[in-house]
Structure 1
Amino acid sequence: MRNTLLLFLICTLIACTEKPTTTIETKEKNSSNTVVLTEAQEKSTAIETFEIQQQSITSTLKLYGKTEVPPQNLVSVTSALGGYVKSIRLLQGQRFKKGQVLAILEDNQFIQLQEDYLSAKANLAMAEAEYLRQKELNQNKASSDKNFQQATAGYRTLQISKKALEEKLRLININPNTLTLDKITRTISLHAPFDGVVGEVFVNTGKYAAPFDVLFELINPRDFLLNLKVFEKDLAKIAIGQQVQASSNTNPDELFLCEIVSIGRSVNTDGSSDVYARIKDQRGIDLSAGMYVNAEVGVINKNAWVLPQEAIVGFEGKNYIFERLQNHTYRMLPVEITTTEKEWVEIKNSSSLQNKKLVRKGAYSLLMALKNKPEE
């Protein structure tokens, strides 16, 4: 009986001893992110509290892409009548001015066309004189109607022929108004239609270029587009008319302003869609087709839960904010930042922070007090 009573007392003593130990461990665990200030410390720290709030915040969406020439700015140069390439004046990548000679072609058909025109012009002068003579005779009843009709038909036919030959000459850059017997030439020149850059050269000296052959591909750089890649999850943030700030990899410090003009409706194999932006003012900007560019678009996130940046403290690569529990007691809580704009940051885990008194000023002082407090 005495031994049984003694064993009961020992078990009871052990149980009573273990319970406070568990309470102490819990307290130490909770106190690792909690700091208690004295009244004097709190006063000197000048702590201010606030509650998390909703407001619009602008974030920056970073994009990448390439410069691209719109179809209307990519011009293929051909020769209307074809001919042998006598000389080439420009190489791929070279800049040119409007009216500058790109290449010179020669062919017998150029000579023949000029001959036909001058002959038609001379014959037309004779036909016109005969037409006027027959007209006067017919009015005076000195000539038959048949003769007048034949003279009229011959005159009209030569007018048509001369006009058609004039247009053919203009197609090969020969001015019919200045063409005379002494100016007949066997060569023609191909001229640049605008200021630009030679994209590609498809011919060489001595090669015959048929009328349907492309000799040059010219780029008009006045209206470059940016082909930007936007992933599917970000497409809803993009809209026509949004402003884009971009720079090339070649010259990253040279920024230029663009405007979104088109949004693709198909998704590429890499999960992105093509969004096109037009450069608003390209004067002084040195760009070429196919250059890599980086761009930034300002995106407005409506009704975002935000905190002031001064309330966020960083420690060991993570972000935290302090909550006021009661007088002089503060607890450090982890937060995840999604967007930053000037003095505000958007918080991902906002629901856990609502209806809490959060520290706006003095957060860094609380962090120092928490991490430098003596171990209990």
Structure 2
Amino acid sequence: MKNIVGIFVLLLLWSCGNKENTTEENTTEATENVLKLSDEQLKAFSLTTVELQERNVTKTLKLNGTVDVPPQNLVSVSSALGGYVKSTKLLPGMHFRKGEVIAVMEDNQFIQLQQDYLTTRAQLQNAEAEYHRQKQLNQSKASSDKVYLQAKANYETLLISQKALEEKLRMIHINPSNVSVNNIKRTASVYAPFDGFVSQVFVNVGKYVSPSDVLFELVDPKDLHLNLKVFEKDWDKISIGQSLTAYTNSHPEKKYGGEIILISKNISQDRAVEVHAHFTESNAQLIPGLYMNAEVPIPESKALALPEESILAFEGKHYVFEVLDKNSFRMTTVEIGNTGDGWIEIVNGNQLTGKKIAQKGAYTLLMALKNTAED
């Protein structure tokens, strides 16, 4: 409160001391962004100055990109034998658990498959008994080799058929040991292969699908990663293993940790390199295609910097007051960079090297200059 009152008093003194100035003179001063103070005003402003210094600052590389999923974690689910979709409750974005029924298929071929299996199993029992009988007869020379070999071939053929039919039943998630004369099903369930969420749904109830048709596209979120673009000029500032912090435009306060795992060796037409980062923790709010910003801290380095107090933010830009002489100050635009220990990097600092910059009282100079421009 005391600072506000002090600035108000100083501006009042300034305004009174400039009443005799013409409008034309004030306009010239404001246009050139130069402020001139009398000795009395300078004393009242209690100004201190500072020069650019080389300071250690922690730089932050700001990137952007999208959440992506590797091919092995984007799974297309089909029905092994096709059929009609009897039921499904999946919707895009819905989460599911491993082993959960995500669709029920219905088709005559499921019945036929179980029938073939039961028939083959029954035939195999007879063929096995006949094979062992002919084997004993052949050993005692009571049966010819031809009859024995025929029984053996018949038994092995049926054994192969049964094994193949068992695998076909397992493909549609029907346990062969549960199939019996009194337990033949006309439906087959499709189960979720992992915990995840639905990316896309391509079917509806009643639709017929073939084995090559995709029912759902499912995402395994355990391996979601961030696909970032790094421009050529910053390519040498990143390395595998670097940590980063990511956030969305809608919720910048929510931070997601990550680590760089891969840096592309190709430069695109827009002179950018693809960088892939893993999230340190899986999160249900992260979905493929989501736009995100990322900040990668760069190891400390020397940079030309000024104290935070010297730098003024005004109308979307940053300024400092350069000391021209004892009583004159020029407001100069600066481009700021990273910060460290109360100092801010001046990216275009070379133009101010060796010059005195207002520190304490810089904000008062800004108010006085703008007050002059408005008179």
User: TM-score scaled by structure 1?
Assistant: 0.73
Number of equivalences: 332
> Counterpart in 2 of 1:114?
114
Within 5 Å, give how 1:1-376 maps onto structure 2. Answer: 52-53=53-54, 55=56, 57-264=57-264, 265-267=266-268, 272-283=272-283, 285-300=284-299, 302-309=301-308, 312-314=310-312, 318-320=318-320, 336-342=334-340, 343-351=342-350, 363-364=359-360
More displaced stretch, 124-133 vs 231-240? 231-240
RMSD value, Cα: 3.8
Q: Structure 1 357/66 Cα, relative in aligned 2: closer, same or farther at 3 Å?
A: closer
Amino acid across the alignment from 2:110:
F
Query: What is the distance in 1 between the residues matched to 2:366 and 2:291?
Result: 48
Query: What is the distance in 2 between the residues matched to 1:313 and 1:250?
Result: 29
1:262-296 Cα distance to aligned partner (Å, 9 max, x none)? 33424255x6544322211125x522232232222
Query: How far did residue 98 of structure 1 move?
Result: 1.4
Q: Is the 8 A contact 1:35 1:366 kept in 2?
A: no
- SS of structure 2 residue aligned to 1:62: strand
Q: Is the 8 A contact 2:51 2:355 kept in 1?
A: yes
Q: Structure 1 127/153 Cα, relative in aligned 2: closer, same or farther at 3 Å?
A: same
Query: What is the distance in 2 between the residues matched to 1:157 and 1:115?
Result: 18
1:276-329 Cα distance to aligned partner (Å, 9 max, x none)? 22211125x52223223222221236443445546x354976544788x9xxx8
Amino acid across the alignment from 2:294:
A
Mind listing any 5+ residue stretches in structure 2 that lack a counterpart?
Answer: 1-33, 369-375
Amino acid across the alignment from 2:359:
A
Amino acid across the alignment from 2:162:
K
Mind listing any 5+ residue stretches in structure 1 that lack a counterpart?
Answer: 1-30
Percent same amino acid at aligned positions? 46
> Counterpart in 1 of 2:27?
none
- SS of structure 2 residue aligned to 1:136: helix
Q: Is the 8 A contact 1:335 1:347 kept in 2?
A: no
Query: How far did residue 58 of structure 1 move?
Result: 1.9
Query: How far did residue 151 of structure 1 move?
Result: 1.7
- SS of structure 2 residue aligned to 1:112: helix
> Counterpart in 2 of 1:13?
none
User: TM-score scaled by structure 2?
Assistant: 0.73
- SS of structure 2 residue aligned to 1:218: strand
Amino acid across the alignment from 2:360:
Y
Query: What is the distance in 1 between the residues matched to 2:367 and 2:89?
Result: 75
Query: What is the distance in 2 between the residues matched to 1:51 and 1:272?
Result: 33
Query: How far did residue 163 of structure 1 move?
Result: 0.8
Q: Structure 1 318/92 Cα, relative in aligned 2: closer, same or farther at 3 Å?
A: closer
Larger radius of gyration: 1
Query: How far did residue 371 of structure 1 move?
Result: 10
